[in-house]
Every structure is written in structure tokens, then in C-alpha cells.
Amino acid sequence: MTATVPPVRHSSKTPSPGGRRAAGGRTPLSRLRLPARLRRASLPYVLLLPALALELLIHLVPMVVGVVMSFKELTQFFISDWSAAPWKGLDNYRVAVDFNAPVGEDLLKSFLVTCEFTVLAVGLSWLFGTAAAILMQDAFRGRGLLRAVFLVPYALPVYAAVITWSFMFQRDTGMINHVIHDQLHLTDGRPFWLIGDNSFFALVTVSVWRQWPFAFLCLMAGLQNIPRELYEAAAMDGAGIWQQIRRITLPSLRPVNQVLVLVLFLWTFNDFNTPYVLFGRAAPDAADLISIHIYQSSFVTWNFGSGSAMSVLLLLFLLVVTVLYLLATSLRRKDA
């Protein structure tokens, strides 16, 4: 934003005789003032200052505290007096990335589960979002109502929505088993969804259900910017619906998708609420997402140093992925 302020030259470079006289009349004051040019240039920064200060306070300070904690042995014996906690150097990190020892091995497992989960959840959310946005592009009766209904999962408070899912996933009394076992007879016995291996699919289901309306919303907005003439011209040239989607819709949505996929990735990878509400403080191995894992490593075992080290590692990982992603997508855009 700051770069868009136009340089205002004429006022300082076109000295009018009257203006000079006026300035000369108040010499002591004007000498104290900054040159007009500097004043104008600094205005945007001054306006940004409060936001910057808050940003530092709200984002950077906790981050720095977290990083400092990761170098300390901050266990239950020291939490009431942080300064007494001994420095551990890189020990917390060493333990976290030693994949042959139990702590590192579990962290790696949790990381892989999270990757798998993120790819599935983001992929499906994006697919559903895109499909729904394209299908609802043409006006039909009840479109507004359907759009509103589709957005409900996104608008619901996380806790209320996920706790409802956890009731539905209960083995003996849940609706899911009632439908797939009692009514459709798809399974031999009643499967468990909240414990054991199936918990992974339960988690993906709830996550996709929560996220896809956001994809839908973004893509729907993106679709409004594609000129209808493009489609008409393509239709005249004999392009079918699939070709139109492939050659017009998707390329035009590229900037939206670039941001959307990144944001979905970050949200999903870091998602804490969904698994926590669904499974409680001890998630099953199959659904042990990294955020829950770190929570367990710090709050449940009361070792905040180790938990912070894992958080910092997670931060670095997401940062690297994000930068690579942005570089890759921008480069491709340049090529195109």
C-alpha cells in the first residue's frame, strides 16, 4: 500500500512569490518543521504506526517468548518462576528430532498423519468448493437459499458443530452407524469412529465439512469476475462444458486458488479445535494431529520447553512450505 502514494512534486518545486513571502514571514517556525516532502512521505508510516505497534505486541512478543521458552527446561518445577528454569540450549530440539527415540518417533508419526490429513482435507474441500461454485454459477430458482445453506457449516461456532459430529459418530447411539449399519447394512458390525483407525476418516469428514464452504465462498466470488463473453465466445467456437471449465474457468481462478489453497493448507495443518473437541485430550494414534500432539507434549506432560521447541519446528516447516509455494506459483504465473 505504501508504495502507491503518488509523489507530489509540484507544491514544493514551484515556488510562488507570494508563498515565499509568507514563509519568510514565519521563519523560526518553519525551520523547526520537517520539509514538506519528507512530511508527506512519512505520513503513511505514521498512520501505520499504531497497527505496527499492536502487531509487535500481539504477534511478535508471544512468538519471541515461545522461542525463548524452547531453549529452556520449562517443566512443572519451574513454571511458577520462569527465570529459574535452566537453559537447555538445543536439547529440546535434539529430543524432538531424534526420530529413533520415542519422543521424536511419535512426533514424526504425528507429522506424517498430519500431512496425509491435510492433503486429503484440503483436496476434498477445494474439490467440493469448486464443483459447487461452478454448478451454482447459473441462476436458477432457490439458488440464494442453497448458497446460504451451503455456508452454514462455516458460520456455525466450531465447538457446537464438532460436538454434534462427535455425538453422530458414537458407536452405539450415533446417527452415522444407524444409517450405514442399521438402515443400509453396509457394515457387518458397528464400527467405531472416535477410537481406533477409523478416527482418521471421521476427522477428515468433519474437517472437510467445516472448510469447504470457505472454498466455495472464495471461488464463487472469483467466478463473478470472469466475463461472460469469454464463455459465449468459447461456446461459439465449439468448446464443450469441460473445455470451458478447463480453459477458461480454472485459469481465470488461478489467483484466487493460489491464496485459497495456501490458507486452507495453513488452517488445516494447524487445526486444533476439530480434533480436540472430537477426541478430547488423548487423540487416537490414527488421528494424532501435530497441534494436538504438541498440546499433549506441553500441557499434559507439563513440559512447556519441549512443546515450544516443537512449535518452533512447526513454524519453520510451515514457513518453508509457504515460501516455496509462493515462489513456485509466482514463477509459473510469470511463465504463463
Partner 1 sequence: MHITRTTAAATLAAALIASATACGGGSSTDGSGNGSPKELTYWASNQGASLEADKATLTPELEKFEKQTGIKVKLEVIPWSDLLNRILAAATSGQGPDVLNIGNTWSASLQATGALRPFDAKAFDAIGGKDRFVSSALGATGAEGKDPAAVPLYSLAYGLYYNKKMFADAGIANPPATWDELVADGKKLTKGGKYGLAVEGGNLSENVHHAFVFGKQHGADFFDASGKPTFTTPEAVTAVKQYIDFIAKDKITAPGNAEYAANQSVADFATGKAAMLLWQAAGSSLKSHGMKPEDYGVAQVPFQTAGASGDTAVNSMVAGINLAVFKKTDNVDGALKFVKFMTSDDEQKLLNGTYGSLPPVKAAQSDPAFATPDLKVLADALANSAAPLPQVANESQFETAVGTAMKDLFADAAAGKPVTTESVKAALEKAQQQMPAS
By CB under 8 A, name the binding residues for partner 1: 3, 55, 58-60, 62-63, 65-67, 69-70, 75-77, 79-82, 102-103, 106, 170-172, 190, 192, 194-196, 262-263, 266-267, 270, 272, 280-282, 284-285, 294-296, 298-304, 307-308, 310-312, 314-315, 318-319, 322-323, 326-327, 330, 334
Residue closer to partner 1 (CB basis): 180 or 195 = 195
**Please, what is the minimum distance in Å from the beta carbon of residue 204 to partner 1?**
18
Residue closer to partner 1 (CB basis): 230 or 262 = 262
Q: Which amino acid is at 313?
A: L
d(CA 92, CA 325): 29
Residue count of the chain? 336
**DSSP per residue, 140-201:** -TTHHHHHHHHHHHHHS-HHHHHHHHHHHT-TTT-HHHIIIIIIS--SSS---SSSSTTHHH
* Among 136, 155, 275, 129, residue whose Cα is nearest residue 204: 275
Residue closer to partner 1 (CB basis): 241 or 300 = 300
Residue closer to partner 1 (CB basis): 119 or 300 = 300
Residue closer to partner 1 (CB basis): 150 or 284 = 284
- Unique residue bearing C-alpha cell 521563519: 27
Residue closer to partner 1 (CB basis): 180 or 248 = 180
**Please, what is the minimum distance in Å from the beta carbon of residue 118 to partner 1?**
13
**Please, what is the minimum distance in Å from the beta carbon of residue 92 to partner 1?**
12
**Please, what is the minimum distance in Å from the beta carbon of residue 46 to partner 1?**
20
Q: Which amino acid is at 282?
A: A
Torsion, CA 197, CA 201, CA 202, CA 204, rounded to 10: 140
d(CA 143, CA 197): 39
Residue closer to partner 1 (CB basis): 69 or 132 = 69
**Please, what is the minimum distance in Å from the beta carbon of residue 242 to partner 1?**
32
Residue closer to partner 1 (CB basis): 230 or 286 = 286
Give, in degrees to the nearest 5, the angle at Cα 288 between 320 and 95.
60
Q: Which amino acid is at 53?
A: A
**Please, what is the minimum distance in Å from the beta carbon of residue 60 to partner 1?**
8
**Please, what is the minimum distance in Å from the beta carbon of residue 196 to partner 1?**
5
**Please, what is the minimum distance in Å from the beta carbon of residue 78 to partner 1?**
8
**Please, what is the minimum distance in Å from the beta carbon of residue 147 to partner 1?**
27
- Residue 210: exposure state from Cβ atoms within 10 A (0-12, 13-18, ≥19): buried
Alpha helices in the chain (DSSP H): 10-13, 17-25, 27-32, 36-55, 61-69, 91-97, 102-135, 143-155, 158-168, 175-177, 199-223, 228-236, 241-244, 250-252, 254-270, 273-279, 290-295, 304-335
Residue closer to partner 1 (CB basis): 73 or 219 = 73
Is the distance from CB of 186 to CB of 273 less than 8 angstroms? Answer: no
Adjacent-strand bridge partners of 72 = 87
